[in-house]
Structure 1
Amino acid sequence: MSVFAHPEFDAHEKVLFGHDPDTGLKAIIALHNTSRGPALGGCRMWAYRSDEEAVTDVLRLSRGMTYKSALADLPFGGGKSVIIGDAKTMKSEALFRAMGRLVESLGGRYRVAEDVGVTVADVEAMARETDYVAGIPAGGAGDPSPATAWGVFCGLKASVRHRLGRDDLRGLTVAVQGLGAVGRHLCAHLHAAGAHLFVADLNEQAVRQAVEAWNAVAVAPDEIHTVAAEVFAPCALGAVLNDVSIPQLDCAVVAGSANNQLATLQDGAALKARGILYAPDYVINAGGIVNISHESQLSGAPYDKAAAFAHVARIGDTLAEIYRLAERADLPTSEAADRLAEQRFKPAVSQAA
């Protein structure tokens, strides 16, 4: 299939395919829109079942970064990259240095950070070949997962306030799907606030640790979305909200860190029809990129963690604005978020033209 005919192609500015036979690198970088500034987005390494699946992922993720940066009011555009391969068996310094050279070939139009399957150390290997990296210790912000989790926590509180009319999370029941770095940090915040946790993950050790640390209740991964809880927090991979899972939800709010939670655009309307408040994923999970935007090489000032995390906390205010717009216009929250984001980056396209 031609990239231009791909259903996820959305007037992307550039899609770059890179191959380095010496290291085995097969990678794709997608720049969606850079009208607000150079693209900033993570690099994901995944054992995709096909090249087309990888193209689908990078196109969707890069588009999401445009909307994410716009709603976070950052001077960056949307971009993302994927490396096709098993992160458990194919990693090498040479491979990530080859990825760094691919990023360098774009001359600064794209800055790369970590994502699923790629660590901060991997990005540091890329940095040996390019200066266009973000989210490494040299920049001050470091690992973005604590900031992402803080943003999800603040967004979850704003969502509970809007839907349930309560500020106190004590006794709130939350079903957390996924106990990776972000999911674990989120659970810690929720436990400290007095919430009761149901948790699921394919990693049995992570589940055991959650049960011991936070008195969580373990649930099978394929059942966590059906648990009777006030909040469902998807913190694993995407497309978890679909025509099969949405009728099975038993919650008032969906608020989690996973990217591309809606399998289709119509799923936002399906959640609205069920009376479930959905926190659009690219809004609530923007904490990592907001934190990175405060790095010295991006902001021009020394990194200040307190200022960065205060900026992240404003995710709750943005969600409250989206919820008000959705109610006024009788829209799914996913569509209200898109409209608000497009007001912030599409006018810039017209001016540039």
Structure 2
Amino acid sequence: MAGPERGEEVYGVSKNDAVDWEGERTLHHEDEQTGLRAVVAIHDTTLGPGLGGVRFAAYPTARAAAREAQRLAEAMTWKNTLAGLPYGGAKAVITDTGGITDRAALMAAFGRFTATLGGAYVPGVDLGTSTADLAVMARTGATVSCATEDPSPWTAMGVLAAVQAAARHVWGHGGLADRRVLVQGAGHVGSRLVRSLAAAGARVIVADTDADRAVTLARETGALCVPADRALASACDIFVPCARARVLDEATARTLTARIVAGAANDQLADDTVVRILTARHITYVPDFLASAGGVIRIHAAEQGWDTARTAAAIAGIGDRVTRVLDEGHRTGDPVTAARDQARRILRSAARPPGPLA
């Protein structure tokens, strides 16, 4: 299938739903038989095909779905580039209309659409989707990741490395003993982090909108459980967001007690002004696309046949990248811009045409 021009939106989206974006493609697809309403945003393919998860969630409008896909696709470009992976950035969202009766048929329809993109987009698991969903897509001929393995444990490993690097930056060492660490979200990644942090001697605080899940995890690990709606008011040294997007806005950034923010949740900041507020308050922020790169590293490692030791060593390297970004961010006052600028330099170098033959 011939791709649309840069920035073009297709598949029945009205002009009122169009948005300005610097990415390569935003594709809308509908399938009346299954009720599929999907958006695929491909931000940058300089380094390779766009790799990013498929999110299944409710969206009020096609514009809102597109905006989410585009924001997350851009973050995937930074994540994959800084992790040294041969992938670009992309993301997909499937709108949960509440009336889906055949999930397998829905995912198969999305897989067939993805297959028409000729490998330009490689989907993976994300909020609301599972390895079983990706396996269904793969059977339609789509090239996918995560069809047989959930990379969440590796994502958690990378976040832990990021937290330890940030602790060294702030306190001069990466030890977490007796540090109060608030983990927001007790899902696949958050629950593993709670266990790892508790094992490292941290005083863990856990919150989740599923109160029973949070209570159970707290009992298993000795963590303190707090209500989800009061989590950000909890006194802590480190805040680890592993749940909803844009958890930090101007109001929460001005009242947060933590010295460090580093977590797995995507799109943590309401906008770029938030990081400036955090910096002014001497709160160290680790860009989410740096901290959460363990999962995509694992995806590449599995594709290349790396053993566990090599994969773990590559994910531990997240800590070194966090240190470099925080050092640069300390000089400039903005770790997010520092990280993006590093990624842009890599992309510009990769896109540069070769010199003349000798």
Q: TM (normalized to structure 2)?
A: 0.91
Instruction: Please give the residue correspondences for 1:239-278 in structure 2 after superposition, counting only pairs within 5 Å.
Output: 239-278=246-285
What letter corresponds to residue 287 of structure 1 in structure 2?
G
TM superposition shift of 1:232: 0.6
Once residues 127 and 182 of structure 1 are traced to their aligned partners in structure 2, the CA distance between those partners, rounded to angstroms, is: 24
What letter corresponds to residue 189 of structure 1 in structure 2?
S
Pick from 176, 182, 190: which aligns with 1:175? 182
1:34 alignment counterpart: 45
Pick from 286, 293, 306: which aligns with 2:300? 293
What letter corresponds to residue 27 of structure 1 in structure 2?
A
**Residue 321, structure 1, aligned to residue 324, structure 2:** yes
C-alpha distance after superposition, 1:169-194 (max 9, x if no partner): 11111011111100001111101111
Once residues 132 and 112 of structure 1 are traced to their aligned partners in structure 2, the CA distance between those partners, rounded to angstroms, is: 8
What letter corresponds to residue 19 of structure 2 in structure 1?
H
1:230 alignment counterpart: 237
2:64 alignment counterpart: 53
TM superposition shift of 1:221: 1.2
Once residues 324 and 261 of structure 1 are traced to their aligned partners in structure 2, the CA distance between those partners, rounded to angstroms, is: 21
2:314 alignment counterpart: 311
Instruction: Please give the residue correspondences for 1:182-201 in structure 2 after superposition, counting only pairs within 5 Å.
Output: 182-201=189-208
Instruction: Please give the residue correspondences for 1:146-161 in structure 2 after superposition, counting only pairs within 5 Å.
Output: 146-161=153-168
**Residue 6, structure 1, aligned to residue 19, structure 2:** yes
Once residues 350 and 46 of structure 1 are traced to their aligned partners in structure 2, the CA distance between those partners, rounded to angstroms, is: 38
C-alpha RMSD over aligned residues: 1.8
**Residue 219, structure 1, aligned to residue 221, structure 2:** no
Which blocks of at least 5 consecutive residues in structure 1 are unaligned?
A: none
Question: Would you say how many aligned residue pairs link Structure 1 and Structure 2?
Answer: 341
TM superposition shift of 1:237: 1.4
2:6 alignment counterpart: none
Pair 88,75 (structure 1): closer, same or farther in 2 beyond 3 Å: farther
State the SS of the aligned residue for 1:27: strand
1:63 alignment counterpart: 74
TM superposition shift of 1:347: 3.2
**Residue 73, structure 1, aligned to residue 84, structure 2:** yes
Once residues 254 and 101 of structure 2 are traced to their aligned partners in structure 1, the CA distance between those partners, rounded to angstroms, is: 39
Q: Give the ranges of 4+ consecutive aligned residues of structure 1 lying more than 6 Å apart after TM superposition.
A: none
What letter corresponds to residue 51 of structure 2 in structure 1?
L
What letter corresponds to residue 336 of structure 2 in structure 1?
S
Once residues 97 and 215 of structure 2 are traced to their aligned partners in structure 1, the CA distance between those partners, rounded to angstroms, is: 26
What letter corresponds to residue 53 of structure 1 in structure 2?
A
Once residues 295 and 107 of structure 2 are traced to their aligned partners in structure 1, the CA distance between those partners, rounded to angstroms, is: 21
C-alpha distance after superposition, 1:299-348 (max 9, x if no partner): 3xx242221121111110000000111123x2211111111111111333
1:348 alignment counterpart: 350
TM superposition shift of 1:210: 1.7
Identity %: 36
**Residue 95, structure 1, aligned to residue 92, structure 2:** no
Q: TM (normalized to structure 1)?
A: 0.92
Which blocks of at least 5 consecutive residues in structure 2 are unaligned?
A: 1-13
Pair 214,91 (structure 1): closer, same or farther in 2 beyond 3 Å: farther
Contact 2:138 2:147 in 1 (8 A): no
Once residues 159 and 107 of structure 2 are traced to their aligned partners in structure 1, the CA distance between those partners, rounded to angstroms, is: 30
**Residue 111, structure 1, aligned to residue 122, structure 2:** yes
Contact 1:268 1:335 in 2 (8 A): no
Contact 1:31 1:110 in 2 (8 A): yes
TM superposition shift of 1:351: 3.4
TM superposition shift of 1:211: 1.7
